């Protein structure tokens, strides 16, 4: 893991303290934003890879990782997270950055691109788009905020495999333990504890059917002036191949790559994803 500095700052609404990793450097700032139940650790590999050339900044969204939990669950929404990200940029003195967003982080990147395109050099959107498949949402709802008691790291790795095995069919026991170490943290006794506030599951109705979020094609169309790299897992149940194709049709300048043998969402350490990100970010510097 590459070295980074801990950065704590107030949320845009001054409700809680938030946390981000700042890898330093003088290159183009690259802000990496994680998915719904994840945290900054998801980008350990990518940040180490990019940090010699770019200033990599990886925040924990409110309710995740080392960021504070919000007493009002209704505040767990991308509409507020993006305001926190703009606040982070101001507090770090970042006038313009590239964004890498996985799943929920990709939705945040699209919102930020529509709101303030002048502040962004380009967007990497990882396995999410303007239409989200209900099947993927149903799978996510089945486990977010519903973890059974975890009494050992072996349990944590088994739970990670149970909920995400379909997305990473070639992972072995070592991979699943590493996955668990990213999604849980050790308590005072060294035992695993979930690294997110269970209240984030409020995004889903626990009783009714899963309903796809509103159509976001207007938001996508507003990004035509920004360079975009779209990444999709070949096995994704959240971003369909048809939606990915339509994204490219409506944004012809988008670079597109599909990661073989990955579902939702690629970890961005896969060779085809790494090559695409390197080429894309390199192009933003020219």
CA distance 257 to 230: 6
Smallest CA-to-CA distance from 43 within 113, 117, 126, 114 is with: 126
State pLDDT tens for residues 32-91: 999 999 999 999 999 999 999 999 999 999 999 999 999 999 999 999 999 999 999 999
Give pLDDT, residue 145: 73
The residues spanned by each domain of the chain are 5-138+214-285
State phi, psi for 68 to the nearest 5 degrees.
-70, 155
- Residues of the chain predicted below pLDDT 50: none
Which of 5, 67, 47, 56 is CA-nearest to residue 28? 56
pLDDT at 213: 75
Q: Does domain 5-138+214-285 have CATH number 3.30.2130.30?
A: no
Q: Read off the pTM.
A: 0.96
Distance, in Å, from the CA atom of 30 to the CA atom of 204, rounded to the nearest integer, reads: 30
């Amino acid at each position: 893991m590459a070295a980074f500095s801990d950065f704590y700052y107030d949320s845009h609404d001054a409700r809680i303290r938030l946390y981000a990793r700042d890898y330093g450097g003088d290159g183009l700032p690259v802000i990496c934003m994680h998915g719904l139940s994840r945290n900054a650790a998801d980008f350990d590999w990518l940040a180490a890879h990019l940090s010699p050339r770019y200033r990599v900044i990886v925040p924990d969204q409110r309710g995740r990782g080392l960021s504070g939990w919000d007493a009002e669950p209704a505040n767990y929404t991308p509409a507020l997270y993006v305001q926190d990200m703009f606040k982070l940029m101001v507090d770090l003195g970042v006038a313009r950055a590239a964004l890498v967003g996985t799943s929920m982080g990709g939705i945040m990147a699209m919102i930020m691109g529509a709101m303030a395109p002048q502040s962004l050099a380009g967007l990497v959107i990882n396995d999410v788009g303007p239409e989200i498949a209900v099947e993927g949402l149903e799978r996510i709802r089945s486990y977010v905020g519903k973890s059974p008691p975890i009494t050992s790291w072996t349990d944590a790795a088994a739970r990670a495999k149970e909920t995400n095995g379909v997305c990473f069919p070639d992972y072995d026991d070592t991979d699943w333990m590493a996955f668990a170490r990213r999604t849980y943290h050790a308590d005072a006794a060294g035992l695993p504890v979930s690294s997110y506030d269970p209240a984030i599951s409020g995004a889903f109705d626990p009783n009714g059917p899963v309903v796809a979020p509103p159509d976001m094609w207007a938001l996508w169309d507003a990004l035509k002036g920004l360079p975009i790299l779209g990444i999709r897992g070949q096995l994704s149940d959240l971003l369909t191949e048809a939606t990915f194709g339509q994204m490219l049709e409506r944004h012809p300048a988008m670079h597109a790559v599909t990661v073989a043998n990955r579902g939702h969402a690629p970890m961005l350490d896969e060779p085809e994803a790494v090559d695409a990100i390197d080429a894309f970010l390199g192009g933003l510097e020219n």
